[in-house]
Amino acid sequence: MESPSKLSTDISGRLKRDAHGLVAAVVQEHDTGEVLMLAWMNDEALHRTLSTGRATYFSRSRQRLWVKGETSGNTQRVMSVALDCDGDAVLLRVRQTGPACHTGTRTCFTGRELPLGEES
Amino acid sequence: MESPSKLSTDISGRLKRDAHGLVAAVVQEHDTGEVLMLAWMNDEALHRTLSTGRATYFSRSRQRLWVKGETSGNTQRVMSVALDCDGDAVLLRVRQTGPACHTGTRTCFTGRELPLGEES
Protein backbone atom coordinates (compact mmCIF):
# COMPACT_ATOMS: atom_id res chain seq x y z
CA MET A 1 0.00 0.00 0.00
CA GLU A 2 1.07 3.51 -0.78
CA SER A 3 1.17 5.79 2.24
CA PRO A 4 -1.04 8.91 2.03
CA SER A 5 0.33 11.63 -0.22
CA LYS A 6 2.55 14.28 1.31
CA LEU A 7 1.14 16.92 -1.02
CA SER A 8 0.70 20.14 0.96
CA THR A 9 -2.82 20.75 2.15
CA ASP A 10 -2.76 24.16 0.49
CA ILE A 11 -2.26 22.62 -2.95
CA SER A 12 -4.36 19.55 -2.23
CA GLY A 13 -7.28 21.78 -1.32
CA ARG A 14 -7.15 23.51 -4.69
CA LEU A 15 -7.39 20.31 -6.76
CA LYS A 16 -10.64 19.31 -8.39
CA ARG A 17 -10.06 15.61 -9.02
CA ASP A 18 -12.14 13.36 -11.25
CA ALA A 19 -13.96 10.28 -9.96
CA HIS A 20 -10.64 8.40 -9.99
CA GLY A 21 -8.81 11.05 -7.96
CA LEU A 22 -6.90 12.41 -10.94
CA VAL A 23 -6.20 15.75 -12.60
CA ALA A 24 -5.00 16.16 -16.18
CA ALA A 25 -1.39 17.12 -16.81
CA VAL A 26 -0.60 19.02 -20.01
CA VAL A 27 3.09 18.70 -20.78
CA GLN A 28 4.86 21.34 -22.83
CA GLU A 29 8.47 21.59 -23.99
CA HIS A 30 9.95 24.55 -22.14
CA ASP A 31 12.21 25.78 -24.91
CA THR A 32 9.99 25.40 -27.98
CA GLY A 33 6.47 25.56 -26.58
CA GLU A 34 5.52 22.29 -28.28
CA VAL A 35 2.77 20.38 -26.49
CA LEU A 36 4.30 16.97 -25.92
CA MET A 37 1.61 14.85 -24.29
CA LEU A 38 -1.32 14.66 -21.92
CA ALA A 39 -0.98 12.53 -18.80
CA TRP A 40 -2.72 12.14 -15.45
CA MET A 41 -1.71 12.79 -11.85
CA ASN A 42 -3.01 11.83 -8.46
CA ASP A 43 -1.91 13.78 -5.37
CA GLU A 44 1.21 11.68 -4.89
CA ALA A 45 2.30 12.07 -8.53
CA LEU A 46 1.98 15.84 -8.18
CA HIS A 47 3.83 15.82 -4.87
CA ARG A 48 6.71 13.80 -6.35
CA THR A 49 6.82 15.97 -9.47
CA LEU A 50 7.06 19.14 -7.38
CA SER A 51 9.56 17.76 -4.89
CA THR A 52 11.90 15.90 -7.26
CA GLY A 53 11.62 17.97 -10.46
CA ARG A 54 11.18 14.72 -12.40
CA ALA A 55 7.80 14.42 -14.15
CA THR A 56 5.84 11.68 -12.41
CA TYR A 57 2.37 10.58 -13.50
CA PHE A 58 -0.32 8.08 -12.62
CA SER A 59 -0.89 5.40 -15.23
CA ARG A 60 -4.59 4.68 -15.60
CA SER A 61 -3.94 1.45 -17.48
CA ARG A 62 -1.37 0.12 -15.03
CA GLN A 63 -2.92 1.82 -11.97
CA ARG A 64 0.41 2.93 -10.59
CA LEU A 65 2.80 5.86 -10.44
CA TRP A 66 5.45 6.12 -13.14
CA VAL A 67 8.39 8.40 -13.53
CA LYS A 68 8.46 9.49 -17.17
CA GLY A 69 11.48 7.86 -18.83
CA GLU A 70 12.16 5.40 -16.00
CA THR A 71 12.43 2.57 -18.55
CA SER A 72 12.92 4.43 -21.85
CA GLY A 73 15.38 7.02 -20.60
CA ASN A 74 13.22 9.72 -22.20
CA THR A 75 12.92 11.74 -19.02
CA GLN A 76 11.33 15.12 -18.40
CA ARG A 77 13.06 17.70 -16.22
CA VAL A 78 10.36 19.96 -14.81
CA MET A 79 10.95 23.69 -15.13
CA SER A 80 7.57 24.91 -13.87
CA VAL A 81 4.13 23.67 -12.85
CA ALA A 82 0.93 25.73 -12.86
CA LEU A 83 -2.58 24.80 -11.78
CA ASP A 84 -5.50 26.03 -13.87
CA CYS A 85 -8.35 28.28 -12.74
CA ASP A 86 -10.70 25.48 -11.77
CA GLY A 87 -8.12 23.08 -10.37
CA ASP A 88 -8.64 20.12 -12.69
CA ALA A 89 -5.51 20.51 -14.81
CA VAL A 90 -1.84 21.31 -14.38
CA LEU A 91 0.56 22.62 -17.00
CA LEU A 92 4.10 21.28 -16.81
CA ARG A 93 6.88 23.00 -18.71
CA VAL A 94 9.70 20.49 -19.10
CA ARG A 95 12.99 19.82 -20.80
CA GLN A 96 12.35 16.56 -22.66
CA THR A 97 15.12 14.08 -23.35
CA GLY A 98 14.48 12.09 -26.54
CA PRO A 99 11.01 11.59 -28.01
CA ALA A 100 8.11 12.25 -25.65
CA CYS A 101 5.83 9.62 -27.16
CA HIS A 102 6.15 5.90 -26.47
CA THR A 103 5.59 5.36 -30.22
CA GLY A 104 8.88 7.15 -30.89
CA THR A 105 7.45 10.37 -32.31
CA ARG A 106 8.59 13.69 -30.91
CA THR A 107 5.20 14.46 -29.37
CA CYS A 108 2.10 12.31 -28.87
CA PHE A 109 0.29 14.52 -31.41
CA THR A 110 2.94 14.43 -34.15
CA GLY A 111 1.55 13.35 -37.53
CA ARG A 112 -1.96 12.80 -36.18
CA GLU A 113 -3.82 15.82 -37.54
CA LEU A 114 -7.56 15.55 -38.15
CA PRO A 115 -9.13 17.02 -41.31
CA LEU A 116 -10.49 20.51 -40.65
CA GLY A 117 -13.48 21.79 -42.63
CA GLU A 118 -14.15 18.43 -44.25
CA GLU A 119 -16.75 17.13 -41.85
CA SER A 120 -20.18 17.84 -43.36
CA MET B 1 -32.60 15.61 -27.37
CA GLU B 2 -29.46 15.95 -29.41
CA SER B 3 -29.38 13.84 -32.52
CA PRO B 4 -26.47 11.38 -32.78
CA SER B 5 -23.16 13.00 -33.66
CA LYS B 6 -22.19 13.25 -37.31
CA LEU B 7 -18.53 12.71 -36.48
CA SER B 8 -17.04 10.46 -39.14
CA THR B 9 -16.78 6.83 -38.18
CA ASP B 10 -13.07 6.91 -39.01
CA ILE B 11 -12.40 9.56 -36.36
CA SER B 12 -15.02 8.26 -33.95
CA GLY B 13 -13.37 4.83 -34.00
CA ARG B 14 -10.05 6.31 -32.92
CA LEU B 15 -11.40 8.06 -29.81
CA LYS B 16 -10.84 6.58 -26.39
CA ARG B 17 -13.53 8.32 -24.37
CA ASP B 18 -13.78 8.43 -20.59
CA ALA B 19 -16.77 7.07 -18.66
CA HIS B 20 -18.68 10.24 -19.56
CA GLY B 21 -17.97 9.94 -23.29
CA LEU B 22 -15.39 12.72 -23.29
CA VAL B 23 -11.84 13.30 -24.46
CA ALA B 24 -9.57 16.07 -23.18
CA ALA B 25 -8.89 19.08 -25.41
CA VAL B 26 -5.62 20.93 -24.91
CA VAL B 27 -5.89 24.39 -26.41
CA GLN B 28 -2.80 26.24 -27.59
CA GLU B 29 -2.39 29.71 -29.11
CA HIS B 30 -1.27 29.14 -32.68
CA ASP B 31 1.05 32.11 -32.94
CA THR B 32 2.80 32.07 -29.56
CA GLY B 33 2.57 28.43 -28.46
CA GLU B 34 1.04 29.42 -25.13
CA VAL B 35 -1.19 26.74 -23.60
CA LEU B 36 -4.47 28.57 -23.03
CA MET B 37 -6.76 26.06 -21.33
CA LEU B 38 -7.92 22.49 -21.00
CA ALA B 39 -11.48 21.65 -21.96
CA TRP B 40 -13.52 18.56 -22.81
CA MET B 41 -15.21 17.28 -25.95
CA ASN B 42 -17.79 14.67 -26.78
CA ASP B 43 -18.16 13.40 -30.35
CA GLU B 44 -20.52 16.21 -31.34
CA ALA B 45 -18.23 18.92 -29.94
CA LEU B 46 -15.36 17.50 -31.99
CA HIS B 47 -17.53 17.23 -35.08
CA ARG B 48 -18.67 20.86 -34.76
CA THR B 49 -15.13 22.06 -34.07
CA LEU B 50 -13.82 20.31 -37.18
CA SER B 51 -16.69 21.35 -39.43
CA THR B 52 -17.09 24.98 -38.33
CA GLY B 53 -13.55 25.92 -37.31
CA ARG B 54 -14.97 27.44 -34.12
CA ALA B 55 -13.78 25.74 -30.93
CA THR B 56 -16.75 23.93 -29.39
CA TYR B 57 -16.55 22.03 -26.12
CA PHE B 58 -18.73 20.03 -23.77
CA SER B 59 -19.30 21.65 -20.39
CA ARG B 60 -19.19 19.06 -17.64
CA SER B 61 -20.79 21.41 -15.13
CA ARG B 62 -23.60 22.53 -17.42
CA GLN B 63 -23.82 19.21 -19.29
CA ARG B 64 -24.16 20.86 -22.68
CA LEU B 65 -22.17 21.95 -25.72
CA TRP B 66 -20.74 25.44 -25.74
CA VAL B 67 -19.05 27.45 -28.43
CA LYS B 68 -16.09 29.16 -26.82
CA GLY B 69 -16.81 32.88 -26.66
CA GLU B 70 -20.51 32.58 -27.48
CA THR B 71 -21.34 34.88 -24.57
CA SER B 72 -17.99 36.58 -23.80
CA GLY B 73 -16.96 37.20 -27.40
CA ASN B 74 -13.58 35.62 -26.60
CA THR B 75 -13.77 33.15 -29.47
CA GLN B 76 -11.20 30.67 -30.74
CA ARG B 77 -10.60 30.24 -34.47
CA VAL B 78 -9.27 26.72 -34.96
CA MET B 79 -6.15 26.41 -37.10
CA SER B 80 -5.46 22.69 -36.56
CA VAL B 81 -6.62 19.71 -34.54
CA ALA B 82 -4.55 16.61 -33.78
CA LEU B 83 -5.47 13.44 -31.93
CA ASP B 84 -2.92 11.90 -29.59
CA CYS B 85 -1.40 8.43 -29.83
CA ASP B 86 -3.91 6.73 -27.58
CA GLY B 87 -6.99 8.68 -28.65
CA ASP B 88 -7.95 10.25 -25.34
CA ALA B 89 -6.80 13.81 -26.05
CA VAL B 90 -6.87 16.33 -28.87
CA LEU B 91 -4.61 19.33 -29.36
CA LEU B 92 -6.24 22.43 -30.83
CA ARG B 93 -4.13 25.23 -32.18
CA VAL B 94 -6.27 28.35 -32.23
CA ARG B 95 -6.26 32.08 -32.74
CA GLN B 96 -7.70 33.40 -29.49
CA THR B 97 -9.65 36.66 -29.33
CA GLY B 98 -9.30 38.35 -25.92
CA PRO B 99 -8.43 36.45 -22.74
CA ALA B 100 -8.90 32.68 -22.88
CA CYS B 101 -9.86 32.34 -19.21
CA HIS B 102 -13.27 33.20 -17.83
CA THR B 103 -11.48 34.89 -14.92
CA GLY B 104 -10.05 37.43 -17.37
CA THR B 105 -6.47 36.20 -17.38
CA ARG B 106 -4.76 35.54 -20.69
CA THR B 107 -4.60 31.77 -20.07
CA CYS B 108 -6.21 29.57 -17.44
CA PHE B 109 -2.74 28.90 -16.01
CA THR B 110 -1.57 32.53 -15.81
CA GLY B 111 -0.31 33.49 -12.34
CA ARG B 112 -1.07 30.08 -10.85
CA GLU B 113 2.39 28.53 -10.55
CA LEU B 114 3.00 25.91 -7.86
CA PRO B 115 6.21 25.95 -5.80
CA LEU B 116 8.81 23.63 -7.28
CA GLY B 117 11.36 21.96 -5.02
CA GLU B 118 9.68 23.16 -1.82
CA GLU B 119 7.59 20.10 -1.08
CA SER B 120 9.46 18.00 1.46
- What DSSP assignment string belongs to A9-52? HHHHTT----TTS-EEEEEEETTT--EEEEEEE-HHHHHHHHHH
Is A64 part of a structural domain of the chain? yes
Please indicate whether residue B98 or residue B119 has the higher confidence score (pLDDT).
Answer: B98
Containing structural domain, residue B24: 9-96
Q: Of A38, A79, A88, which is closest to B84 when you measure between CB atoms?
A: A38
User: How many domains in chain A?
Assistant: 1
Of B6, B11, B114, the CB nearest to A50: B114
Residue A115 lies in a domain: no
Residues of chain A with pLDDT under 50: 1, 120
In A, minimum Cα distance to B113 occurs at A82
Q: Is residue B92 part of a domain?
A: yes
Residue A3, pLDDT score = 60
Task: Report yes or no on B38 lying in a domain.
Answer: yes
Taking the CA of residue A21 and the nearest CA in chain B, the distance in Å comes to 14
Whether the pLDDT of residue B4 is over 80: the answer is no
Task: Return the pLDDT at B1.
Answer: 46
**What is the spatial distance between Cα A53 and Cα B118, in angstroms, rounded to a whole number?**
10
- Examine residue A92 and state whether it is found in any structural domain, yes or no: yes
* pLDDT tens, position by position, A46-65: 999 999 999 999 999 999 99
Residue A5: per-residue pLDDT: 80
- Radius of gyration for chain A, computed over Cα atoms and rounded to the nearest angstrom: 15
Predicted model pTM: 0.94
Query: Is residue B107 a part of any domain in this protein?
Result: no
Residue B90 scores a pLDDT above 80: yes
Cross-chain Cβ contact A37/B84 below 8 Å:
yes
Residue A34: inside a domain: yes
In this structure, what CATH number is given to the domain that contains residue B57? 3.10.20.810
d(CA B23, CA A61): 16
Q: Quote the pLDDT of residue A50.
A: 97
ipTM > 0.90, yes or no: yes
- Domain annotation covers residue A2: no
